[in-house]
Structures are given as structure tokens and as C-alpha cells.
Amino acid sequence: MHYEAEHTGNFNDMIEIEKLTKRYGQHVAVDHISFKAKQGEIVGLLGPNGAGKTTTMRMLTTFMPPSEGTAKVAGFDIQQDSFEVRKRVGYLPERIPIYPDMTVWGYIAFWAQLRDVKNMKQVDAILDRVQLLDRRKTLLRNLSKGMRQRLGLAQALVHDPPVVILDEPTIGIDPQQVIEVRDAVRQLGEKHTVLFSTHILSEAEQVCDRVVIINRGKIVAQGTPATLRTQLQPGAHLFVQISGASAETILKLLRTIPGVSDAQPNGNGFSVRTGTKQDVRAEISGRVAGAGYALLEMRPVAMTLEDIFLDIVGREATP
Amino acid sequence: MRNENIVITRYQIGLIASIVGATGLILGIVGFLWQGSFTTFIISSLIVGGLGTALWALMTPSEFRAFIQGRQVRQSISSVFAALLLLGIVILAYGLAQRAVISMDMTIDNQYTLSDTTRQILRRVTRPMQITGFYSPRGVAFREIDDQFWRQYEEESGGLITRRYVDPDVEPGLRSQFQVVNEGEVFLSFVNPDGSLDMPSTQIVPRENGQERDMSQTISRMLIAGSVTVYFEVGHGEYDPEDSTQQGLSRINLGIQQSGLITLPLSLPELAASGGRIPDDASALIFARPQTDLSEAEVIVLDDYLQRGGSLFIMADAVFVDNPFLQENGIFSQYLWNNFGLRPLDAIVVDPPMGVRTPVDIQSAAVFTGNPIASRLDSDTAQLQFNIVRPIQINTTPPANTTNGQIILSSDQSFAERNLIAFGQSNTINFDDGQDIRGPFATVAWADNQATGAKLLLTGDADFATNGLVVVGGNSILFTDGLVWLSGFADQLNFGVQFFGSTAPFMFASGQQLDFIAFLTVFLIPGVVLLSGLAIWYRRVRA
Amino acid sequence: MSGTWYIFRREVVQYLTSPLAYTVAFAILVITGFLFVGDLTTALTTRPVNAAVVPSFLAFGMVVFAPILTMRLLAEESREGTLELLLTAPISDTQIVLGKFLGAWFYYTIVLMITFSYQIILLTITRPDLGHAISAYLGIWLYGGATLAVGMIFSALSENQIVAAFLTFATLLLLWFAEYAAQIVGTVELAQIIRQLTLGGHFSSSFGVGIVRLEDIVYYAGIMVVALFIAIRVVESQRWR
């Protein structure tokens, strides 16, 4: 088939999403979301599990059509010119797709050929880039989880697509590999437009130029990580361990400290939330010492997005 | 493959229920469209379909709702329509292909293509015939194979032969009319000008040697039915054509009758006494070892018949009675010698090299195959076997208008024992110089008269045609082809053997060859495949 | 069509490197080997060898083997998640299904060709009816293609290979067994219609005895076309949700 596809819109916008909606029966998985991604931009899609991240990505990769709305990838409509879109997208699904009985090289070469790569040197090049070239004859069933992740990345990049879509690429791998993958994604931003999903705020913060946060299929917020953090993280979250009195007494004490919105027992210590952005750590240590107790430990807890959402949702629920 | 626990979920029940429901509904609807009425089958299909759909709705209500409302329905319906359209096209193509009846017989001996013999027979069909086959639903596969043949008869005969298939359970009237006993019986009848079947002409097609041979022989039999009559002489103590013992002739008699010929007895002494004559319809008159010689009056009756172009099949034999048949100095012997230049001698052929058990049970040493009677006798499987044979003397300068010749010869080490009394009383055989004669001798000979059309086939032995010996070697061929030649319907009649035989040969192999083949196919080939699999498996676990 | 070719090639390599495929081939070859030698021994000196002994067995054998050969094809792809990548690669659903089907058929063809060597072996001791053999092999080749195409439907329908294999087996068994069921129905017309629907009805009294009929070729080709069309639609239905 030959497509005389027409570029429309601003070529600079590699991804344009316009009121994209997906319904499963009564359930609305993605609800009228719209955003754009420019060339070379790394956009993080942030949201808790079930927020609609994967569904959005599947629509963008033409795996499933939207119920309403449109999207364009590299200027091609995902429904009208789906083949043109597919040629220009590299996709890494959340679960790394594996043919257990293929070799590393054979696997990458297979996807390369399916995507019209003529020069098989590209296969070696991409394997070299993800440091799997020395494993080229290994069967996939014998690869470690981290290696599979890199293999998945290689698969998504072998045809040098302008747009790369990565669904939770850092899930389930060890911390060292997480760092590697994040570095790899950051490097991608030099040549490719990257849309990647995560539910870890700090990851989005580190990697992305821009973050789109969705919950229950709707965009909750979008912007650069710095602005979002200030917008979304109104309070801090501390873990303290105090000895010298009963938990009841200490809880009472903590709750009376100005700026502390809530305190709860948490393991052998306490979770402390602050309602404002002011730093209450000095205040806490002062009060604890003043009361004659010993402050054994105090550290900030990185808030996951889910915590923040719990906050937001909690606030939305009780206005 | 990974093992996984199969957990039956609500979703799976819903899925299965939806499939069952859809199948039931589709079967019901298609069935209704097909038959146009609500039969039990259709109603139960619809009920099953309804129940399945209800169960589906109950088990996975959300999916069911989505199905009713969403894209799935639109897409599914369009897919179902597209699939049905495609199915329609396929069925149409199938129907066209079926109607076109394009088929190719791939067997090396063209088992499913009518042979030239059959084509020749079909060329003589002038009156419409109908093949009536009785097949019940149990026999559809059988009928399909049969029909591949019957269809060719219809085509090859230019529609003169038609076929009709009857389910004996549905039409018991026809079944009793044809006296059908078994499933798959096939009948052949002539068709009257008004389209009705000529029931008296109906013959059952025997199921013996494959569809083509059975049918062609039946057609051949029908074509000559009643038009050829063969008489057995019974007035001189001959072998009995009705006798089914080893000494009887019932086998050849039945064979002739099955070929559509009529066989009747005829008593020459009675005819001679009453001044009658041999009927005009007699295609041949067979003498099967008469004991006593013919009287002059009988020879006159025979002469009258031969003058009209009659044919004689004389199987003489050594008989140890007074006034034996065709004695050398007898009047009939004289007649044959004068008119055909043939006569049997009062002797028996002793042929030690060709003897089977005794030197007088002899096989043929030489065959003159140039003769139509002997053309099929020249093979190892068609060895003739005679029991006590009279040598036949042939006049090499035959009477005017007559030609004669020998067909079967004894070996050059044979001699003719003339002392029949000694032989008859004590089985004594020895060569007496001056009295006995050195061979070889003719044991079967022929003669015909071009002026009158009279034909004579003379054999020095009659035992070869008895039930006991006719099945041996080429004995039946000698009788059959002899009668075919005498009666002059050689181009009409093939009731012999091996006209339609398969040419794929039987197989002969040594035990060693078989062992090697078994090793190759049962061990070596699968073994190599298994080893390759193991090698791949090993490479995988090692890697 | 290059997409079909790449999918086809991957499937063929998959079969050639899969111990399961070798085990199935081994099972088929042992059984056919035994049947062939058995027929040979009984035929010895009494009748010509039956050129269709292996194809006639496979007429039932494929009811069992086709599910094993096809269950993996699409079920595994959807379970391993590779189907998602395939469906987002620039190839059509038709190419995916066609490539996989052709791969399975190719594997079957190879096994069939190995058993055809029996006829060649026979040449050393007799003159086998090669025409009959070719007809029977052509028939069982098409027959096998049809059973594999039916297997594609269920492999596409189910993520679970066992379920896919079972459903394929049940369907093929029905299509096979109906040939015998046709014999107990009331009327000859119905019996014939049922027989024309069955897989065996287009083999046992035509290809199997040495006759190549156009209608049988159209039947098997038709089954393949319709079954593959349905399989393609089922794969496509992943996108309808």
C-alpha cells in the first residue's frame, strides 16, 4: 500500500494530542486529554497505576483507536495514516515483549526488517549502544531482567524513529540499571522526541523537560518538573524517630508544633506532614529536645506521586 | 512451553457462553433459512443460543453491555458480514467446480478411467440403458467412488446410459421390485421408448472385480443377451453341463450363461430318429467327451448343420468302451477327415518331459499363438493341463475351401501309445517299436471352411473343461477363446479373465530388504529427527 | 509482502529451533514409518502396496497434530506481549496471520516430504503407483493446510495455548467425525451435504484413491481462505476494544 500522507500542523510538534478519549463500555479510561510534545523534547507521562498512561500510549502507537478525539505523531494522524505513524514510532511496552527462543541479534534484526531497515549494520550499532553486542548470540530466555530492558530499548530504537514511546521503562529493575536507563532516555532527547510514562515523580523530575500528570484519565497538571513540584507538593513529609516517652505523648507533642498538619505512627517512628512549604525541621528538633526526649532520626521522605495524589484526591474529596 | 494453572474465571465462562450462544443462534438461523421451517433441531439450536447469550450477559454484564453499544458490535457485525460474503463466494466457487466435474485420474494404470475394452463395448450400445444403484445414507462414500465410474459410462455412451440412485429405505417399492438384498447393489436395465424400465431385461451388476470390469461385463452381457445360443450334445454319455461335481461342466456352463449366452441341451440321437435338424440359432454345438460313436444318421444331421455354417466344439477323449467316440475307422472320423482334414487317433499321448504327475497328465509343450484361439495362451500362467489326451492327425493338404492347423503340440520326446486295451486295463505304457508312433503330436487343432463358414475346434482331451481342471492354468482361456472363435462373436464378448486387470505389480522382496526398509523408516529417519531435536535442546540448556 | 516474508522466516526458524517441533515430527514419522512397513509386509506377494497409507493416516493425524502445531502461533504472541509490538509495526494484520500460517504450513510440508521418501525407497523393490501417491500427498497437503488455518483462528482467539489447542482439536474432530456421522442421518441428500462439509469427505474417496478433483481443491482452498480471514479479523479485534 502506498500512502500519500500529508503533513499537517506545526512540524515542530512531533506529538499533538487533541481531546483524546478512550472508553471501555461505561468506563472512561482516557478522558479528553490534550497536550503536545516538541521535537527533541522529553515528556513524562506521570500518574498512578490505572490513570490511563498505557491507554494513551497505545492509542499513540496505533495499537488501538481512540473513541473520540485525534492525535498526530510526526504530523501523521494515528487513524488515517497509521502505517506512517508506525514507521516513525519506537515503542517499548510496559512488559518487555520477548521471543524466548530467539537470539539477541536475531530479535533486533527481526524488528529492524519489519520496520524497513535495510542496513543491518544498524542492528550492531544499536546493540553496541545498549551494550549487548557481546551477547548477540545469547538466547533471550537467558537474559537478565536488566538486559531485557536494554534489549527492549534497542528494539524501540533500531529503526531510528523520530518519536520514542516508553511505557514505564524503569519498573522492576535494580537501582543501578534504573540510573542507566534514565541516562539513556536523557540522551535520546538529543535526537528523538520521547514520551515516557512513570509513576515516580523524582524520575520524571530528573529526566523530563516537561511532565504531564494524569489521574483517572484526566490531565491534572502539566509543566516543567520544577513548577509542578512547587504546585503539587504543598507540604513536606518527614520521618522522625524519638525516644523518651510513649507514642501517645510524642504524637501529641508533634501535633502541637506549628506547621505540622498531621502526625501518625509509622513503624518504630512517626510520619510527620507539614501543611506549608516552611521548613519545620529546626522547630521539631528544638521542641523534642525542649521536652527532654531524644531525637534519634529525622529525614525527609521523598513523596511518590501516589502520596501527592492521595493528598490531592483527599483534598478534592473534602473541600 | 510454560506450565500454567488453568483457572476458570467468570470471564472465561462468559467467553464460552458467548461462543456457544453465537454458534447456536447462527446454526438456528442458517438452518431456518435452509429448510424454511422450524424443525426440532432449529428450535433447540435457537434455545441453546438464547441460553448461551443469557449466561454470557449474566456472567460478564459489562462486556455484554459494551458489546451491544460499542465499536465491537459495529466491527463484529461488519466482520461477520464480510466473512459470510467470503463464505458465499467460496461456496459459489465450490458449486461451480463441482458442476464442472473436472478431475484427473492420477493412478499409473488409469484405474478410474474407462479402458479401451469398455469403450469398445460402449460403442455397441444402441438402446438406452439405466444404471440403478441402491445406496442408503450409510453408503454415500461408496456411492461417491462408484459414481466416478458410472458418470463416465454416461458420458462415454453419449447419454444412452443414464444413472439413477435410490435410497432403499426411502423407496421400498423399488427395492422389492429390484429384489435388493444388500446395500450398494447396482442394476442395469434397458429403457423402453416410453421411458419406463424394461424390467425383464434387468441384471444385477456383480461386485467381484472392481467397478469397471463388473459394469462392462454386465453391459456386454445385456447387449448379447438371448442373441447367442450354445448347445451341449447330451445323447452320447457326455459330461453333464448341470453337474457341479469335479467331473461336471457346471462352471463353464455358468460362465457362458453369465456372459449373456443361452445354453441348451441337444440330443443328436433323438434328432436323427425324429428326422429333425439342429436349430438355426445354434452358434455352436459342444461335444464334451461323448462315449459312443455317432451313427450315420447323426452324421447326416451334423453335416446339414455344418453346411449351414455351423460350428462344432469337439472335445474328444480316450474312452475305454466298445464303439468309442470318433474311433479311427468310424464313420464320423471319416467324415471329419474328409471334410476338415482332422481326426483323433486311437492312441494316447505319452509325454514324460511335460507330465505333471504321470506322463499322461501333460502340459502343453508348444503353442501356436498366431491363432486367435491361442493368442492368450502364450504365458507361464496360462499353462494348459490335459489328462489322457488323444493325438490329433492333421492332413496338411486339407480338402478344398478348407484350412486347418494345430494349436497345441506335445514335446518331441512324446510318443503315442496305441495299445489302449493294455492301458485301459492296467495303466501300462511302453513304447513298442513298429506299433507306437513318435511325437510330437497336435493335441488341439482347428479347421474352417470358407465356403460354408463351418468351423471346427477339436481337442484330444475333454477333462480340461471339467469343474476340476478348468480353473487350472490357461484351461479356461482355451475354452473361452475357443468358443468365442467358434461362435463368431469375438468382438462382442469378453467373458475371459484379465481384461481390466491392474498393472500395478505385486511386490516381492527378500526378508533382508524388508528389514532394511523397516530400519530406515521406523528407526533411522525418526531417529535423525529426534537427535536433531535433542541437539537443539542441549544447545539451549547449555547456552 | 516483505512483512509476510519476515514473519514467515521467523516462524520457520522458530520451528527449526524448537524441540517441540522435532518431537511432533518424530511422533509423526515413527507412526507413519510403522504404518508403511506394516502395509508393506501385508502387501508382500498378495497385492500392490497402498500408495496412500501415510496420507490416509494423516487425515486423522492432523486432527491431533494441527492443534499442537498452531496453538503457539498467535496465543504465545499475545501472552508474551509481542503481539502488541507486531500490531504497532508497519505491517498489516493480514501479513502477520499469513506469515505465521505459511510458516506452519511449510513445516508441515517438510514433514510430509520426509514421509514421501518411503515411495522413493519402494522404487528399489517394486514399481509403486507414484501417481496415486502424488495425488494422495497433494490431497493431504491441502487438507493439512486447511486444518492449520482452522488452528490459526483459535490461536488468535485465546491467550492460553492449551485452550487454543483444545478448541482446535474439538473443531477438527467434529469436521473429521462428521464424515461418519453422515452415515447415520435419515436421507441420502443430507448425508451428502454433511459429507461435503467434512474434511475427510474431500479426501477419502478422491485424493485418497488417486483422483484429483477440482471441487476438492476448491474446498480446501476455501476453508483456508475463510479460516484465515476469520483469524485476521480476530487479531484485528484486539484493536476494537
**Would you list which residues of chain A are within 8 Å, Cβ to Cβ, of chain B?**
23-27, 65, 67, 101, 138-139, 141-142
* Contacts with A106 from chain C: Cβ below 8 Å: 13
| Chain C contact probe: residue of B12, B19, B26, B94 with most C CBs at under 10 A | B94
Q: Is B72 on the interface with C (CB under 8 A)?
A: yes
Which of A26-30, A87-91, A292-296, C176-180 holds the top average pLDDT?
A87-91
Q: Do B63 and A138 touch (CB under 8 A)?
A: no
| Cα angle B396-B402-B405, degrees, rounded to a multiple of 5 | 45
Q: Do C125 and B507 touch (CB under 8 A)?
A: yes
Q: Is B105 on the interface with C (CB under 8 A)?
A: yes
Average pLDDT over residues C118-138: 87
Q: Is C17 on the interface with B (CB under 8 A)?
A: yes
Q: Shortest CA distance to C132 belongs to which of C202, C197, C198, C54?
A: C54
* Contacts with A62 from chain C: Cβ below 8 Å: 87-88
Helix or strand run (H / E) with residue B190: strand B186-191
Give bridge partners of residue B205 from the DSSP assignment: B186
Q: Do C183 and B140 touch (CB under 8 A)?
A: yes
* Contacts with C141 from chain B: Cβ below 8 Å: none
Tell me the nearest-neighbour CA distance from B176 into chain C, angstroms.
19
Tell me the nearest-neighbour CA distance from B79 into chain A, angstroms.
17
Residue type, B78: S
How many Å apart are CA C12 and CA A52, to the nearest integer?
A: 38
C188-197 helix and B140-156 helix, angle to the nearest 10 degrees: 100
For residue B44, give Cα distances in angstroms to B15, B50, B282, B448, C174. Answer: 21, 10, 70, 80, 19
Average pLDDT over residues B317-322: 87
Q: Do A26 and B63 touch (CB under 8 A)?
A: no
* Reported confidence tier of residue C8, pLDDT bands at 50, 70, 90: very high
* Contacts with B76 from chain C: Cβ below 8 Å: 237, 240
Using the structure block, give the residue that is written with the C-alpha cell 531510528: A160
Q: Do A114 and C3 touch (CB under 8 A)?
A: yes
Domain borders along chain C are 2-239
What are chain C's partners, defined as 3 or more CB pairs within 8 angstroms? A, B
* Reported confidence tier of residue B5, pLDDT bands at 50, 70, 90: low
How many Å apart are CA B132 and CA B203, to the nearest integer?
A: 10
What are chain B's partners, defined as 3 or more CB pairs within 8 angstroms? A, C
Sorted by sequence, the CB contacts under 8 Å of residue B251 that are 6+ apart come out as: B244, B467, B470, B471
As a whole-number percent, the residues of chain B with pLDDT over 70 amount to 90
Task: Tell me the per-residue pLDDT of C55-83, one tens digit each, with 9 for 90 and over.
Answer: 999 999 999 999 999 998 888 888 888 88
* Contacts with C67 from chain B: Cβ below 8 Å: none
Average pLDDT over residues A72-77: 90
Q: Over 60: is that where the pLDDT of B493 sits?
A: no
Q: Do A114 and C14 touch (CB under 8 A)?
A: no
Q: Do C213 and B103 touch (CB under 8 A)?
A: yes
Q: Do A110 and C10 touch (CB under 8 A)?
A: yes
User: Taking CA atoms, what residue in C is nearest to B504?
Assistant: C48
Q: Do B135 and C18 touch (CB under 8 A)?
A: no
Q: Do A138 and B62 touch (CB under 8 A)?
A: no
Q: What is the 3-state secondary structure (H, E, C) of A220-288?
A: EEEECHHHHHHHHCCCCEEEEEEECCCHHHHHHHHHHCCCEEEEEEECCEEEEEECCCCCCHHHHHHHH
* Reported confidence tier of residue A11, pLDDT bands at 50, 70, 90: low
Q: Of B83, B97, B536, which has the smallest distance from its Cβ to C229's Cβ?
A: B83
Q: Over 80: is that where the pLDDT of A303 sits?
A: no
Q: Over 90: is that where the pLDDT of C104 sits?
A: yes
Tell me the nearest-neighbour CA distance from C130 into chain A, angstroms.
39
How many Å apart are CA B127 and CA A125, to the nearest integer?
A: 86
Tell me the nearest-neighbour CA distance from B135 into chain A, angstroms.
54
Task: Tell me the per-residue pLDDT of B18-47, one tens digit each, with 9 for 90 and over.
Answer: 888 888 888 877 777 776 667 777 788 888
Tell me what pLDDT residue B497 has.
Answer: 35
How many Å apart are CA C41 and CA C45, to the nearest integer?
A: 9
Check the CA dihedral A65-A69-A73-A77 and report its sign: positive
Q: Do A62 and C14 touch (CB under 8 A)?
A: no
Tell me the nearest-neighbour CA distance from B513 into chain C, angstroms.
8
Q: Over 90: is that where the pLDDT of B215 sits?
A: no
Tell me the nearest-neighbour CA distance from B534 into chain A, angstroms.
15
Tell me the nearest-neighbour CA distance from A66 into chain B, angstroms.
11
Identify the residue with better confidence: A90 or A146. Answer: A90
Check the CA dihedral C214-C216-C218-C221 and report its sign: negative
Q: Over 60: is that where the pLDDT of B13 sits?
A: yes
Check the CA dihedral B131-B134-B136-B140 and report its sign: negative
**Structural domains for chain A:** 13-231 (3.40.50.300), 234-302 (3.30.70.100)
Which of A50-59, A242-251, B54-63 holds the top average pLDDT?
A50-59
Q: Do C240 and B72 touch (CB under 8 A)?
A: yes
Specify the length of chain C in residues: 241
Tell me what pLDDT residue A79 has.
Answer: 86
User: Taking CA atoms, what residue in A is nearest to B73?
Assistant: A25
DSSP A287-302: HHHHHT-EEEEEEEPP
* Reported confidence tier of residue A9, pLDDT bands at 50, 70, 90: very low
Q: Do C241 and B529 touch (CB under 8 A)?
A: no
Asked if residue B369 lies in contact with residue B376, where contact means CB atoms within 8 angstroms, the answer is no
Sorted by sequence, the CB contacts under 8 Å of residue C220 that are 6+ apart come out as: C142, C143, C145, C146, C202
Task: Tell me the per-residue pLDDT of A223-259, one tens digit each, with 9 for 90 and over.
Answer: 887 776 666 665 667 888 888 888 888 888 888 888 7
Q: Over 90: is that where the pLDDT of B285 sits?
A: yes
Tell me what pLDDT residue B446 has.
Answer: 92
Q: Do A101 and C238 touch (CB under 8 A)?
A: no
Task: Tell me the per-residue pLDDT of B150-204, one tens digit each, with 9 for 90 and over.
Answer: 999 998 888 899 999 998 888 888 888 888 888 889 999 989 888 888 888 888 8
| SS3 call for A35 | strand
Q: Do C17 and A101 touch (CB under 8 A)?
A: yes
* Reported confidence tier of residue A1, pLDDT bands at 50, 70, 90: very low
Q: Is C225 on the interface with B (CB under 8 A)?
A: yes
Reported ipTM: the value is 0.87
* Reported confidence tier of residue B269, pLDDT bands at 50, 70, 90: very high
What are chain A's partners, defined as 3 or more CB pairs within 8 angstroms? B, C
Tell me what pLDDT residue A8 has.
Answer: 47
Average pLDDT over residues B503-532: 82
* Contacts with B517 from chain C: Cβ below 8 Å: 37, 40, 121, 125
| Exposed/middle/buried for residue A175 (C-beta within 10 Å: 0-12, 13-18, 19+) | exposed
Copy the grid coordinates of residue A187: 540522551
Q: Is A3 on the interface with C (CB under 8 A)?
A: no
> Taking all residues of chain B, what is their mean pLDDT, rounded to a whole number?
83
Cα pseudo-dihedral B420, B425, B428, B434, rounded to 10: -30
Enter the pTM of the model: 0.72
Q: Of B66, B540, B543, which has the smallest distance from its Cβ to A24's Cβ?
A: B66
